[in-house]
Structure 1
Amino acid sequence: MKTIPTLLLLLGLTAPLSAQVYVGDTDINQLDYVEYLQIDFHGDWTTPFVVIADYGQPPCTNRQRALCRLCDEHGNERRFFSKMEVFNFLDAQGWEHRETYQTMYLDHLDDVHLFRRKPSAGDR
């Protein structure tokens, strides 16, 4: 009978203790100097979205596109089924949406979303 509570306790202790947002193979939540994150969506309503993220890293060439995409802890590209799913994911990981603006990209307007790291309890 004590086995189940013990297992649950052990599982809880081995769960990640901090939020993780990977851009390529970099967990940007571990980079103290990263305060802002800019994201752009690639995809349309017929396919899952891929998120291109810019936190101040060197620009990615076409061959290095995976280094600028939101990934999981194994380096696999994260795919989202709606923009709101991305917003909710980033909010849960410690980022708050600050602004959305448009830029001209080729022949159309492109929405760019700016997020800021949420202040920690010690910063308030």
Structure 2
Amino acid sequence: MIYWVVWFAQNKLVHEGYRSSIYETSTFIKAFVSEQDTICMADEHTGPTVVSRWEAPPLSVVKVNSDSAFIWQDRAATSGVVARDIEGLVMAAYVIPHSNVLDAFVTEALACKFAVQIAKDMRLLNVLAKDMRLLNFYCS
């Protein structure tokens, strides 16, 4: 969640020219956590409410998610990649900084490239991609 907040703040800076203060960012995180705690509290009539966003991949498949953030003024970017198994356990997580990046589209492409490279390095054969397509790798 913290990574998302940082990504969101970077997008506001790049696209709207608005720089969030540390106080605003920490206040947003505290409010978000408080809201999540409220959502998950047990309702006396319906029982506990559980909010789930991550969906497990099929059996013997690893789900690899990637995303990126781009700072136009600095031509700098950061990609993040997370690989999770069927139980949601993190098998690998990487953050990769980039410099001299042309635009946000290139940043997304770099994130995808690193996701594929990490899956290949881990010798994974069945990978669920960001768009829910099953990728079959042959690792020699």
Higher gyration radius (CA): 2
TM, length-normalised to structure 2: 0.29
TM, length-normalised to structure 1: 0.31
Larger fraction in helix: 2
Structure with bigger RCO (C-alpha 8 Å, 6+ apart): 1
